[in-house]
Amino acid sequence: MDVNELFWQAPIDDLKKGYIDQATHFTCLLCGEKVEKGIIYPQEGLLYEAEKMIQHHITLAHHSVFHYLNGLNKKMTGLTEHQSHILRLFYEGKSDQEIKEELEIGSATTIRHHRFALKEKERQAKTLMVMMELLKEQDQKEEPFVPIHKTATMVDDRYNVTLTEEQQLLEKLFPNGVGKELVRFPKREKQKIVVLRAIANLFDQEKHYTEKELNEVIKPMYEDYVHIRRYLIEYGFLDRKADGSAYWVKK
């Protein structure tokens, strides 16, 4: 199970921590980093057991779970950029007066209005979560959908694809298996997502690739590898340095 599936399936308590306790290791739900149990990890003159190490990783790599989630695409959070900014200031313990001065807002009443609006969103989110949980219990036949990668740049109906549909499409377009020749690169957005997701899963999440190395993975699948490479970046599966000297799986 990849990190996106782990993230979306994790209980809220695990999401709040940012990691999940598995049989032999702890896994970061934000990036997939794994810390093996039973090992003592030296870091900056200190010794960490496994769970403390994964907590240390989250602080170093993501600042905090809150900051990571707050930085997600607004389609993921349901917040405007302005709301995300104010929410971060609330989290960091800023007073209404400090926020007013930092944002150059004329009145503290405006800050209180934002607090109320965010509380309203919280109530709506809780209500929806309960209804969706009840729906899952009632509708046991519901097919799971392809999980949306957290770094998606466009979140809309193109993700309305079940796991069964995904498997059938991959078998059709990659008759010899993913990583082998791609019959055609689809024009339909839903099918593009499925193909790009499958290709992105071929890359090592911890590795930085040169452009040549990236091309060598894609070339056996599709002649126009530049086309695929561009879409992997555009759809938020991969990221790269501005000069194109390094590419990596976006987390």
pLDDT in tens, 42-60: 988 999 999 999 999 999 9
Per-residue pLDDT averaged across 14-27, rounded? 95
Please name the helix (run of DSSP H) or strand (run of DSSP E) that holds residue 26, with its range, or none. strand 25-28
Backbone torsion region of residue 209, taken as left when φ is above 0, otherwise alpha when ψ lies between -120 and 50, otherwise beta: beta
Q: State residue 149's pLDDT score.
A: 76
For residue 108, what are the contacts with CB-CB under 8 A and spacing of at least 6?
96, 97, 100
Per-residue pLDDT averaged across 214-227, rounded? 94
CB 111 within 8 A of CB 96: yes
Nearest-angstrom CA–CA distance, 54 and 25: 10
pLDDT-based confidence at residue 217 (cuts at 50, 70, 90)? very high
Per-residue pLDDT averaged across 160-177, rounded? 92
CB 230 within 8 A of CB 236: no
pTM of the model: 0.64
Nearest-angstrom CA–CA distance, 26 and 20: 6
Q: CA angle, 58 as apex, 36 and 116 as ends, to 5°?
A: 140
Percentage of residues in the chain having pLDDT higher than 90: 60
Q: State residue 140's pLDDT score.
A: 66
pLDDT-based confidence at residue 143 (cuts at 50, 70, 90)? confident
* CB atoms inside a 10 Å sphere around CB 116: 10
Among residues 147, 146, 152, which one has the least CA distance to residue 233?
A: 152
**Residue given tokens 């002649």 in the structure block:** 223
The residue type at 142: E
CB 173 within 8 A of CB 184: yes
